[in-house]
Amino acid sequence: MGDVFEFDEDSLASEFRDKVSINKEDEDLSTINTPDLSDNEGEGVQFFKKHNSNNVVSVGSIGKRLGTSYKVTLDEFYDSDNAESRQGSRRGLSSEEEPNEAGKLNEKKKTGVQKEAKRQKPKIQDFKQLKVLGKGSYGKVLLVRHKKTGKLYAQKQFRKASMIVNATNYEQTLTERTILKKVRHPNIVKLYYALQDFDKVYLILEYLDGGELFHYLREERMLSEKVACYYAAELVLALRHLHINVGVIYRDLKPENCMLNSRGHLVLTDFGLSKVSNECNSMFGTAEYMAPEVVKGECYDSQCDWWSLGAVLYDMLTGTPPFIGNNHKRIMDKIVKQKVRYPFYLSQDANDFLRKLLNKNPRKRINCDKEFDKVKKHRFFRYIDWDALIAQDDDKLPPPIVPIITNPEDAENFDEEFTSMPITPPSSPIGESLFESIEESRSTSTSSFIPIQRTDPSGNNDVKKSVYFTNFSYTDESVLR
């Protein structure tokens, strides 16, 4: 076999130089006819002009072998599945023969692959920090702008170090991310990205530039019944969606967690204390708005959220929650022991609906999940067109408060106490290219792992170690379209 392939291509080419005619017009590729050969092995032999040379090279039938090739430039996208259609065009197929269906599909496939290659994984460096929107024991909420699209977001960030000290912080962050990833409702804040770097984890949320409902409540002291019933109705829609469609007990309903978007619709935020469960017995929430069964440490279900709705509605109509005090213990004692006092200026309809919500016995408390038709027909909601409210048809039922927004980047509907705070610069001093290479190996990087000791839920005295952040990142597909 070795003798077959040991030949001098230049001498072989010169042997046929007088017998063939080369088309001088095609510099890249020429196919030429061969004279009749006595040896059958020569049938079908094709000769091609050697690149940048006058010599002719046979790629034909040595052992009836036919070689086909074509030139691919360095910057050209090569797709082996599409080679046949390219080869056909090089051989001079007519315009009717060239565009076959397989070729078209492969071209679309190639384009899709190229677009996918250009799409980069989102990272925190893609966002420019503008202002502080809020601050608490959990961390900060910042107003950020995407550098490429210019879209504004609210960036909620948490230090990983704080999760080492207190595992509850991690559990709450992961719970919020998990819930918001599932939820799709106009009255619940939208999660676009979940990101992380070496020091922090980030939730990139919908920017609600109308500010907190508490901001307007503080300015007005109390809201009219017509305004209050509108936002109570939107809270009913949001809570029912959580209870029925997601299986979540919210547990932290208060005016500070009720935000307004630019159109004036109420949007529920902050799911750190929420629980994906049908019932639980842990005491979580804000003292002034906690249900009696939660305060007493009893087993409770989603009925606790309807008490909290009553407390928020009471706050909107009167200017204070139903029970107040100098400290949390005093407030919680009143919730359990004292009766709710209803001011004389409340209408009969408002008074009746509040009594149905603020019933200390959860079994006798109105259940807006199961009794939704009864709630919709209650006289307190006589101003509400529920179909228009669900569809957010502002022509039929406009929101009672339309925020004044001159420039969304100014965050003018947020407390100046926060917006005047200096922004802490990012703590990672490494360059962007290095950061990207490290992010590629994030799944095996030790920076994605924080050892937190937790008690084994099975009841043993063993201690479990966690927490992995390798699956924390998330991108909403709608932002990629």
Which of 252, 270, 305, 315 is an active site residue? Answer: 252
How many CB atoms are closer than 10 A to CB 194? 26
pLDDT bin (cut points 50, 70, 90) of residue 168 is confident
pLDDT of residue 458: 57
Contacts of 447 (CB under 8 A, 6+ apart): 198
Band of pLDDT at residue 19, cut at 50, 70 and 90: low
Higher pLDDT, 201 or 95: 201
pLDDT class of 12 with cuts at 50, 70, 90: low
Question: Which of 36-45, 155-164, 282-291 shows the lowest per-residue confidence on average (mean pLDDT)?
Answer: 36-45
Whether residue 448 has pLDDT greater than 60: no
Q: Largest Cα–Cα distance in the chain?
A: 118
Report the distance separating Cα 418 and Cα 219, nearest Å.
17
pLDDT reported for residue 192: 95
- Among the listed ranges 34-43, 199-208, 256-265, which one has the minimum average pLDDT value? 34-43
Distance of CA 128 to the CA centre of its chain: 18
* pLDDT above 70 for 326: yes
Would the pLDDT of 148 be above 70? yes
* Tens-place pLDDT, residues 308-320: 999 999 999 999 9
What's residue 193's pLDDT? 93
Report phi then psi at 290, rounded to 5.
-80, 140
Mean pLDDT of all residues in 77-96? 43
Pairing of strands 47-49, 56-58: antiparallel
**Is the Cβ–Cβ distance between 30 and 23 less than 8 Å?**
yes
In angstroms, what CA-CA distances link 289 with 120, 293, 311, 312, 313?
A: 44, 12, 6, 7, 10
CB contact burial 81-115 (16+ within 10 A = b; e otherwise):
ebeebbebeeeeeeeeeeeeeebeebeeeeeeeee
The predicted-structure confidence for 370-379, as pLDDT tens digits, reads as follows: 999 999 999 9
260 C-beta neighbours (distance < 10 Å), count: 23
8 tagged catalytic: no
Higher pLDDT pick, 36 / 188: 188
**Distance from CA of residue 358 to its chain's centroid?**
36
Nearest to 35 by CA among 46, 13, 19: 19
Q: What is the pTM of this model?
A: 0.69
pLDDT, tens digit (0-9, with 9 covering 90-100), for 35-65? 444 444 444 445 444 444 455 444 444 444 4
CA–CA distance, 31 with 251 (Å, rounded to integer): 79
Output the average pLDDT for the chain.
77
Q: What is the DSSP letter of 280?
A: B
Rounded to an integer, the average pLDDT of 353-380 is: 96
261 falls in which pLDDT band (50, 70, 90)?
A: very high
Question: Which domains, and CATH codes, for the chain?
Answer: 2-118 (no CATH), 124-206+424-480 (3.30.200.20), 213-404 (1.10.510.10)
Measured distance CA(374)–CA(356) in Å, rounded: 12
> What separation in angstroms does the CA of 440 have from each of 145, 430, 435?
24, 15, 9
